[in-house]
Structure 1
Amino acid sequence: MFNGILDSAAKLDPTGVVGRTNLELRYARGMLDVLRRVRVAKLDGTYTVVDMVEQQARRSINRPAIFFDKDVITWRELDARANQVAHWAQSIGIAKGDIVSLLMNNKPDYITTWFGLAKAGATIALINTNLTGGPLAHGLNVAAAKHVIVDAELGEAFTAIAGSLETTPKVWAQGGTVAGAASFDEAVAQQPQTQLPRSARPKLKGRDNLFYIYTSGTTGNPKAAHISHYRFLQASNGFAGAMEATWRDRMYCVLPLYHSAGGIVAVGSMLSVGGAVILKRKFSAKQFWEDVSRYDATLFQYIGELCRYLLNSPEHPKEKAHKIRVACGNGLRPEIWPTFQERFNIGRVCEFYGATEGNVILMNADGKVGAIGRIPFYLDRVFNTKIIKFDVETEQPVRNAQGFCIECAPDEPGETIGLIPQNPNKTVGRFEGYKGKAETEKKILSDVFTKGDKWFRTGDLMRRDAQGYFYFVDRIGDTFRWKGENVSTAEVAEALSTFPGIKEVNVYGVQVPGTDGRAGMASLVAGDDLDLEAFHAHIGKALPAYSQPYFIRVKAEMEITGTFKHRKVDLVKDGFDPGKVAEPLYIRHPDLGGIKPLTAAVYEDITAGRLRF
């Protein structure tokens, strides 16, 4: 099969690359290994996540499954604890399809609890542990669960919004006490550690829902995305294949388990091969290399900002003395990629692109710096991912005279979309949507290339080169127009972040009275010795005039989501008004010369139209 695909591709390849270079051979072999691993996943099949993990537990038995602080949980113990949760769930009437919300910090109980609930056939709503107040109530109300399991460490946040819940779930406290809650730990401890009898097991299929995983909420309240057993199997096995993972691997995971990056890519890939997860409560740049060395980690799941934090940290004696062979994740910006890999002796970076709810998955299997993935021409019809022309001002795709969308030329930026198959039983391109029809329909684009076709909208602008590599440009809504040009916030942030002393950058557009479009503004986290005069010169050299930011806000730390994504909503609302912003504000305007403090008088000149843009 492998040679056949390469031979066929080589005959069609206009570049002459296929079958001739080691990178192409490696890429093709990697893709085939991914396809081989995920073939067990079938929508109507009875093989589920429960079967996969139980199978690995039988094979691994006394091998470590989870490392957590000083504790080591074996595969036998993982399965036994999950069995107790499954018995408990059935004892209180939880049946197939019932929803249980899980509000718990990173710990082994998180994994054993959701796995035990899955054995009972429940759907588990994974609630963001960083939420409080209205957003937390929103997440719980969307789930509308019959039961909520609350980590005692999060009990205060939950109790504060309990009166705002639209339903009255039964509340269970884990790891301590929560006001008005029954003890989850005591109830589970009374249950047997044996598996549920075959007669009592729910009849699950691949298409049955396993999780609700919420989107990151960078622009508003998070939405709950359906994650079926099939999708978990597909993703966990696929990423294991991409990393060439085996039972000998140990994955270092600092990302939250309520999100797909930590909960599926990191944990799921190890569950699929019988490896081990080194689980941490949260990320610590100071502790990172000490942990990696201590636990003999071989894999690391990253988000781009984590890599930047590590690079900004002082040299650590163990930062090269480790066993990590693959770092897998997304958001590693090209300006720090080679430096990160070289400084920390990372043999291979496996960058990928994928949204929790989406049907577009891209994988950079050969480590090309800056690329978020690749679909070579001979796999175009398999993955059906396109980039279409997009109008940034109207935030809508461009359509031709016939009303159809227009595919972008190589290296032309546009919105990336993925074909949703008309046959709901077809697995490639399957879009499972959100808990809520209206939210789901907003992500579907119809009549794209033919009447009646449907495509998933990623909401991301990308470009694709002639070799099939995809590059991230910006998030729709982040890119803005200024002086008749499109400004990519990601590209501006990339240029600014290369200046010495800049630790983090968040770029966005702000409205200026009397102007069309939005002017650029950059929120920075920088060292105390930031040289504004030199920074001004750097901006002038690194960026074209239309994309150079006018306004600068200096912050002690950046607002981020629980998955380390920058939040822009509040920054855009604050704008450049010194009456709203207590932090240092600066303006970079040719009439003022260099970078100057943005005082109340300067702000008044702008709003009155005396200082023109």
Structure 2
Amino acid sequence: MRLQARLKRDLKFWQGLQRTLKRVKSIARDSENLICDDLQAAVEQHRARPAMTFEGRTVTYGELDAMANRYAHWAKGLNIRRGHVVALFMPNRMEYFAVWYGLSKVGVVTALINNQLSGPALAHSLNISGANHVIVDPETSSVFEQARKLLERNMHEWVLGAAHGDQRDLVQALKSCSQLPPDRSVREDMTAADTALLIYTSGTTGLPKAARITHMRAQLYMRGFAGATGARATDRIYVALPLYHATGGLCALGAALLNGGSVVLKRRFSASQFWGDIVEQGCTMFVYIGELCRYLVNHAPDENETRHKIRLAFGNGLRPDVWPEMKQRFRIPDILEFYGSTEGNVSAFNFDGHEGAIGRVPKWMKKQVNFRLVQFDVESGEVVRGTDGLCIECGAGQVGQCIGRIAGDARTEFSGYLDKAASEKKIIQNVFERGDAWFATGDLMKMDAEGYVYFVDRIGDTFRWKGENVSTSEVEGRLQAFPGIAQATVFGVQVDGAEGRAGMAALVLDGAFDAKAFGEHVKRELPSYAQPLFLRVLPAMDTTGTFKVRKVDLVKDGYDPAKIKSPLFFHDPKRGYVKLTKSVFDRLAAGAVRL
């Protein structure tokens, strides 16, 4: 029976892999076929079919293409030429995809700016883009205006709405632009290795970095998921993720639009509207990321949560403690979890839906995938090297850093960031042989004997305490199993006079908090070195637009009750979790408390 189950899993993995490889095998650096050519081909095949629905309005493939063509001619009319950058700073809306699709037709690069940014972070993202023009809408124009004084150069602001002062009316400008495709000669000599988009890192630990997304990489995202999901022309994919991010803006859109399917686009995610929307729109798939799934399972039961037609949910970041409830409570037939990063060259797929795994590399496939796990020293922050100076590959069950081989083909290329120094920091030389180069993902993972790969932690998040490595993601999973904990995030904080970093957890509660019962749960579930020394109760987590918790501010705040107004607790060795008062803090600072 075990053999039969394994063969069934292998078959499902193989089928998924074949679907994906079939769609991406023809992608090449020197190809003149660009991402806009892929999309144009889909338009010609499915011109009359519905392509996208947004806030009650549906457009066909032909109408979406006509919209994109207007943006292409708008750029040409302003002499925005091949290789120039236009910044796009808008929330999800019907025009979002059409803007960058249209600009790509004339070789213009679109910088997809996180619409959650403001002030210095927004100005930084705009400054490093090199753009002289920015497209905004009524929701983001005032935010841009406030950041304008921080810009290094003057930017022409184009508004999809009423324009005021120095703003320019983009709606009016587009009226005089042709709906016909621009002549292909305008991008003559361009290849798939040219840049199509700038997509920014989330900035969870600092200012965002701009990753270069070539036409080739955009094709890998869009074609890859068109194959991996097995999407069909009859599928309707619900997208509540921000389109400035690759998972929603490329992976999900590619799955739908390169197969003749339809996108049901939301301005933003809402747990209370999620299932009602999906039932009303007849959606058959949805895409997720980060903690979106946790928000769904933490939400009150909804009469629509099992009345849907969903056959597949796909995305990344589905935590192991949420996975079974997600699948069973909402009756989702299949979940496709994947691993990837905006700038990296590593991708993995869990085609057979093995709970908790982010991907799989069966032994018979190992030579055909470009990533490996190598031993890593958390304390030094470096890979472990043997006596020969080369890296040491991890064995089954051993935690190590995931790295991806850098080579010249589409699947192994590392395009990097606009910041060359930041790009170089992500490359490890002389890994398995002299002269080779590998991309460092910054993620710790482990692989079991069957080839299933499991995410352990971000390298910057894992910390050492009492001589042991503490995985924040594993501790978070244990804490969130306690009744009444809606969300938990764990990080390390410096304690005067103590070696390493002590664990601290920020908690969002769903009801009353029983500190004594929670302490008993922590003691039962976690070894002593992994038990959080400090707790902080928050009304909500500060997250990025892609639902990643911003730990940088939590680490900066630490556990000082003079700085933090929300409830704080300290783990007393004898009494369990007690309120962290100023007197307790002072005793800790003086080294009067034994940790």
Give TM-score, length-normalised by structure 1.
0.95
Find the partner of 1:461 among 424, 428, 444. Answer: 444
Q: Of residues 19, 42, 45 in structure 2, which corresponds to 1:56?
A: 42
Q: Which residue number in structure 1 is paired with residue 482 of structure 2? A: 499
The structure 1 residue matched to 2:145, chosen from 145, 159, 163, is 159
- 1:124-203 to structure 2, matched below 5 A, reads 124-177=110-163, 179-203=165-189
Q: Percent identity?
A: 47
What residue is the counterpart of 2:68 in the other structure? 82
- How far does the alpha carbon of each residue in 1:6-39 deviate from its partner, in whole angstroms, 9 at most, with x for none? xxxxxxxxxx969971111111121011100112
- Equivalent residue number for residue 306 of structure 2: 320
Deviations 1:375-431 (A, max 9, x none): 12222222221111111111111112222111111110011101111xx3x223111
Q: Deviations over 1:211-241 (max 9, x none)?
A: 0000111100111101111111111111121
1:477-498 Cα shifts (integer Å, max 9, x gaps): 1100011100000000000001
Which residue of the other structure, out of 445, 457, 462, is the alignment partner of 1:479?
462
Q: Distance in 2 between matches of 1:145 and 1:20?
A: 52
2:254 to 246, 268, 285: 268
Matches within 5 A, 1:260-339: 260-339=246-325
Aligned to 2:517: 534
Aligned-residue offset at 1:439: 1.1
Distance 1:487 1:413 in 2: 12
Alignment CA distance shift 1:380-1:19 (3 Å): farther
Residues 491-546 of structure 1 show CA distances to partners (whole Å, capped at 9, x for unaligned) of 00000001111001010011111110111100000023222221111111111111
Distance in 1 between the 2:494 and 2:69 partners? 56
What is aligned with 2:56? 70
* SS class of match (1:95): coil
Matching residue of 1:8 = none
1:51 Cα offset (Å): 1.2
The amino acid across from 2:573 in the alignment is P
d(CA) in 2 for partners of 1:144, 1:235: 25
SS, match of residue 461 in structure 1? strand
Shift of the alpha carbon at 1:595?
1.4
CA distance in 2: counterparts of 1:552 and 1:607, whole angstroms: 17
Residue in 2 that maps onto 1:368? 354
In the TM superposition, residue 201 of structure 1 has moved relative to its aligned partner by 4.9
2:106 to 115, 120, 132: 120
Structure 2 partner of 1:342: 328
Partner of 2:585: 603
Q: Is the counterpart of residue 551 in structure 1 residue 558 in structure 2?
A: no
Deviation larger for 174-183 or 244-253:
174-183
Q: Which amino acid aligns with 1:465?
A: D
Q: CA deviation at 1:48?
A: 1.4
- Note closer, same or farther for the CA distance 1:155–1:371 as it changes in structure 2 (3 Å cut): same
Structure 2: distance between partners of 1:586 and 1:271: 50
CA distance in 2, matches of 1:199, 1:377: 47
- Provide the secondary structure at the position in 2 that maps to 1:86: helix
1:282-314 residue CA offsets vs partner (Å, 9 max, x unmatched): 111110000000111111101141111111111
Task: Return 354-363 or 202-211, whichever deviates more.
Answer: 202-211
Q: Which amino acid aligns with 1:41?
A: I
Residue type of the partner of 2:191? K
Is 2:213 aligned against 1:227? yes
Kept in 1: contact 2:426–2:440 (CA 8 A): yes
Calculate the aligned-residue CA RMSD, in Å: 1.5
Per the alignment, do residues 605 and 145 of structure 1 end up closer, same or farther by CA in structure 2, a change over 3 Å counting?
same
Do 1:120 and 1:202's aligned partners in 2 also have CA atoms closer than 8 Å?
no
| Aligned residue type for 2:180 | T
Gap change, CA 1:17 and 1:457, over 3 Å in 2:
farther
Give CA deviations for 1:126-166 in whole Å, capped at 9, x if unaligned. Answer: 00101111110000011011221122211111111212211
Q: Is the 8 A contact 2:89 2:135 kept in 1?
A: yes
CA distance in 2, matches of 1:467, 1:226: 35
Select 1:563's aligned residue among 546, 559, 562: 546
1:40 is matched by which residue type in structure 2? S
**Equivalent-residue separation in structure 2 for 1:268 and 1:142 (angstroms):** 27
Residue 471 of structure 2 corresponds to residue 488 of structure 1? yes
Q: Give the equivalent residue in structure 1 for 2:32.
A: 46
Structure 2: distance between partners of 1:448 and 1:18: 38
SS in 2 for 1:285: coil
In 1, Cα distance between the equivalents of 2:568 and 2:165? 44
- Kindly state the Cα deviation for residue 271 of structure 1 after the two structures are TM-superposed: 2.1
What does the per-residue CA deviation read over 1:246-297, in whole Å, with 9 as the maximum and x for residues that have no partner? 1111111111111111111111222221211111011111100000001111
CA deviation after TM superposition for structure 1 residue 333, in Å: 1.0
Partner of 1:573: 556
Distance 1:260 1:116 in 2: 18
Q: Which shifted more, 498-507 or 300-309?
A: 300-309
Deviation sequence 1:428-476 (CA, Å, 0-9, x none): 3111111121111010001112111100000000001111111011000
1:237 is paired with a residue whose SS is: helix
Look up the equivalent residue of 1:395 and give its one-letter code. Answer: G
In the other structure, the counterpart of 2:77 is 91
Distance in 1 of aligned mates of 2:442 and 2:241: 23
Amino acid of the structure 1 residue aligned with 2:576: G
Query: Does the 8 A contact of 1:320 with 1:344 survive in 2?
Result: yes
Contact 1:225 1:435 in 2 (8 A): yes
The structural deviation recorded for 1:373 is 0.4
Q: Aligned partners of 2:35 and 2:587: how far apart in 1? A: 62
Aligned residue pairs: how many? 595
Q: Quick one: which of 403, 428, 439 aligns to 1:417?
A: 403
User: Partners of 1:601 and 1:572 in 2: how far apart?
Assistant: 21
SS of 2:258's partner is helix
Contact 1:152-1:178 within 8 A present in 2 as well: no
CA contact (8 A) 1:41 1:234 kept: yes
Distance in 2 (CA, whole Å) between partners of 1:341 and 1:409 is 31
SS in structure 1 at match of 2:140: helix
Q: Deviations over 1:332-386 (max 9, x none)?
A: 1111211110000101010011010000101100000000001122222222211
Letter in 1 for 2:406: I
Partner of 1:470: 453
Aligned partners of 2:217 and 2:410 also within 8 Å:
no
Relative to structure 1, the CA distance from residue 499 to residue 169 in structure 2 (aligned partners, 3 Å threshold; closer, same or farther) is same
Q: What is the alpha-carbon distance in structure 2 between the residues aligned to residue 280 and residue 230 of structure 1?
A: 27
Query: How many Å apart are 1:57 and its aligned residue?
Result: 1.1
Structure 1 contact 383–429 (Cα < 8 Å) conserved? no
Moved more, 56-65 or 487-496: 56-65
- 2:219 is paired with a residue whose SS is helix
CA distance in 1, matches of 2:100, 2:373: 37
**Aligned to 2:272, what secondary structure does the other structure show?**
helix
Aligned match of 2:417: 434
Confirm or deny: 8 A CA contact 1:18 1:25 kept in the other structure.
no
